[in-house]
Amino acid sequence: MKVPFISASELETITAQFPTPFHLYDEKGIREKARALNKAFAWNKGFKEYFAVKATPTPAILKILQEENCGVDCATEVELLMSRKLGFTDIMFSSNNTPAREYAYAREIGATINLDAYEMIAFLKETAGLPETVSLRYNPGGVFALGTEIMDNPEESKFGMTHDQLIQGFKDLEAYGVKEFGIHSFLASNTVTNDYYPELARQLFTLAVEIKEKTGVELSFINLSGGIGVNYRPEEVANDIAIIGKGVHEVFDEVLIPAGLGHIKIFTELGRFMLAPHGLLVTKVLHRKKTYRDYVGVDASAVNLLRPAMYGSYHHITNMTNPNGKIEVVDVVGSLCENNDKFAKQRGLPEARVGDTLVIHDTGAHGFSMGYQYNARLRSAEILYQENGTARLIRRAERPDDYFATLYGFDFEK
């Protein structure tokens, strides 16, 4: 069972006010999550979560995280612009394949630049110039495993630089006069285990000791990046950030303290873990259809939530109007001219009748932000369910004039 953060009657009040589909975010849950993370890492002086803006690039959400002492991690110039405009001062720029202009802007606003490639050291030096602080992104190659379980395949990943490039990189940076250094690594995505961060930390802490021995460089920070996952499936057990923080602490004491590196600050760049469970995609049943399968057609589609169509990801669905209806096996589909526009395939759900309100769970991260406009389906609204129980529109739904706004030689008013 997955329990939505809002009751059916409270949601009815909101759907009476705002047309579906929309993304709904839970302010209380977001704040509690940020506080739990900061508490779990309070043992580390200088700990900072740089929330991955790409997960939920919505100013009202970023403001909440800012109030909870989080910084931001940006990947593009526009994410940097938004963060700057929101008054963030702790900004990480973890980009890849980056244009010179974006590095220049990152430097201008004082963001910490995290270089994805060894080649980018020379590129940055020749273009925007090297700042006082530089971080390098590490890719150890091979596979990333926890025990016998393979979690991901860094060797096939386009991100980061090799071990030898990283060591050489620090030598180069020091010779060029850079003063402060960090490392960053993202080796597995959506890990539903409390062991990912401690294992990643062990690899990165060991590397920090080696960097000190081989180059004389003492890192100032280690960025564990994103990758802590969420229990999208009801049978999965949610990660426990207190256990994760304790696990990283133990490795810190074991590896870094004896090496005289106890000053190193731990950074994170979590997106999914921070926001996914605190967002719901709210949609209504438009039609039923019966052919070789039974279909429930809803007013949301893959443009509002791409993950199921793109990765075959599971998102739990609750029928808020008819939770105790007779279970039937259905496909829940949107209206795109694409057969992968399905939120659920052959899933047992309580009977979904035309007009029923369904919520699709865990859509608060990499949900709205991965949206697009295929078939001229427009982006939905985003609504904040505030701590005081009221709903606030934080992004209106797109209108046709937004869709036409970038066109030349076409005036739809005529």
- The site for ligand PLP (CB under 6 A) is made up of 52, 54-55, 73, 94, 186, 189, 225-227, 269-273, 365
What's the one-letter identity of residue 135? S
**Measured distance CA(242)–CA(342) in Å, rounded:** 36
373-412: b (≥16 Cβ within 10 Å) or e: eeeebebbbbbbbbeeeebeebbebbeeeeeeeeeeeeee
What's the closest the beta carbon of residue 157 comes to ligand PLP, in angstroms? 10
| Pick 118 or 196: Cβ nearer ligand PLP | 196
Paired tokens of 318: 């609750």
Angle at 164 between CA 198 and CA 52, to 5 degrees: 45
Paired tokens of 226: 């994103």
**Measured distance CA(345)–CA(330) in Å, rounded:** 7
What's the closest the beta carbon of residue 159 comes to ligand PLP, in angstroms? 7
What's the closest the beta carbon of residue 133 comes to ligand PLP, in angstroms? 17
What's the closest the beta carbon of residue 299 comes to ligand PLP, in angstroms? 27
Residue nearest ligand PLP, CB atom distance: 226
What's the closest the beta carbon of residue 79 comes to ligand PLP, in angstroms? 11
What's the closest the beta carbon of residue 143 comes to ligand PLP, in angstroms? 18
| Pick 112 or 225: Cβ nearer ligand PLP | 225
Residue 289 DSSP label: E
What's the closest the beta carbon of residue 51 comes to ligand PLP, in angstroms? 9
| Pick 227 or 308: Cβ nearer ligand PLP | 227
What's the closest the beta carbon of residue 33 comes to ligand PLP, in angstroms? 12
3-state secondary structure of 344: strand
Give phi and psi for 268, each to the nearest 5: -130, 160
| Pick 181 or 273: Cβ nearer ligand PLP | 273
| Pick 249 or 272: Cβ nearer ligand PLP | 272
Terminal alpha carbon distance of the chain: 52
Is 221 in contact with 46 (CB distance < 8 Å)?
A: yes
Q: Judging by DSSP bridges, how do beta strands 279-290 and 327-333 pair with one another?
A: unpaired
Q: Judging by DSSP bridges, how do beta strands 317-319 and 327-333 pair with one another?
A: unpaired
**Measured distance CA(65)–CA(68) in Å, rounded:** 5
What's the closest the beta carbon of residue 229 comes to ligand PLP, in angstroms? 7
| Pick 135 or 301: Cβ nearer ligand PLP | 135
188 CB contacts (<8 Å, ≥6 apart)? 144, 151, 152, 196, 200, 227
Is 80 in contact with 74 (CB distance < 8 Å)?
A: yes
Give the containing element (helix H, strand E) for 266: strand 265-268
| Pick 103 or 273: Cβ nearer ligand PLP | 273
**Measured distance CA(64)–CA(382) in Å, rounded:** 15
| Pick 272 or 379: Cβ nearer ligand PLP | 272
Residue 408 DSSP label: S
SS (H, E, C) 172-205: HHHHCCCCEEEEECCCCCCECCCCHHHHHHHHHH
| Pick 91 or 391: Cβ nearer ligand PLP | 91
What's the closest the beta carbon of residue 271 comes to ligand PLP, in angstroms? 3
| Pick 139 or 357: Cβ nearer ligand PLP | 139
| Pick 271 or 308: Cβ nearer ligand PLP | 271
What's the closest the beta carbon of residue 75 comes to ligand PLP, in angstroms? 6
